A = this chain, B = another copy of it.
């Protein structure tokens, strides 16, 4: 298992920590990585402060196969991610000729002044390769095993299109979800623990939902690489729900 690739995400931005902005990039990146068999194993959210970004990126890049950072690569004074990544890797930072050309052409096309602030977006750590940004032009970049992406969700999605070919695939994990409306976790806990011990290589999670008094229940999710085994687990989970007098709802999916 130790040789299978995995990933961590480092979300950068005061606005996420203050609760002003609700993160959606974790979901986007996790769903993107699932078909490659690369599970996200940790997420950290850190403020727009160089020392904190450096600390998190260095901890994560040492512990995981791939690290994705989001946020802080725009043209304003609080966009410090490129400098922080260079500091984390202990390399210099400078204007990337290809990025500069790309940005200059884009602003010329838009008949918009290519200001010194906009020019900052061409700065990447030495040795980094660019990540194409089909949405707004200014590229992301890859430094070693760290992919530095924008913060705006639509741009993150766009940049992911230039990342798949750089990844080493692992073992795709499939999942089945069996939902039991009106049930509570305690109704199923004993039988579930027994079932969980019976199947190797499958992890079973229990997730209660509670929206209103009339809309609550338990979702049982089994994850594993072997779809034959997973099908058996799915049936066993469905029977467990049926034993409580509830007709289960079963969904298949990746991740």
* Interface, chain A (partner B; CB < 8 A): 13-24, 26-31, 34, 39-48, 52, 74-79, 112, 115-118, 120, 135-136, 152, 154-155, 175, 185-186, 188-190, 192-193, 196, 203-210, 221, 223, 255
Dominant SS among interface residues on chain A: mixed
Residues of B contacting A28 with CB < 8 Å? 19
Of B15, B17, B189, the contact of A43 (CB 8 Å cutoff): B17
Knowing A42-B44, A155-B210, A193-B76 touch, does A26 contact B23 (C-beta < 8 A)? yes
Whole-angstrom CA separation of A52 from B101 in the bound complex: 44
Residues of B contacting A116 with CB < 8 Å? 190
Knowing A42-B44, A42-B46 touch, does A75 contact B17 (C-beta < 8 A)? no
Of B16, B23, B43, B255, the contact of A20 (CB 8 Å cutoff): B255
Contact between B18 and A115 (Cβ–Cβ < 8 Å)? no
A–B pairs, 29, beta carbons within 8 Å: A13-B205, A16-B43, A17-B39, A18-B30, A19-B27, A19-B28, A19-B30, A20-B221, A22-B22, A22-B23, A23-B26, A26-B45, A41-B47, A43-B45, A44-B44, A75-B186, A75-B189, A76-B192, A78-B196, A78-B203, A78-B204, A78-B205, A115-B189, A115-B190, A135-B210, A136-B210, A152-B208, A152-B209, A154-B210
Contact between A15 and B190 (Cβ–Cβ < 8 Å)? no
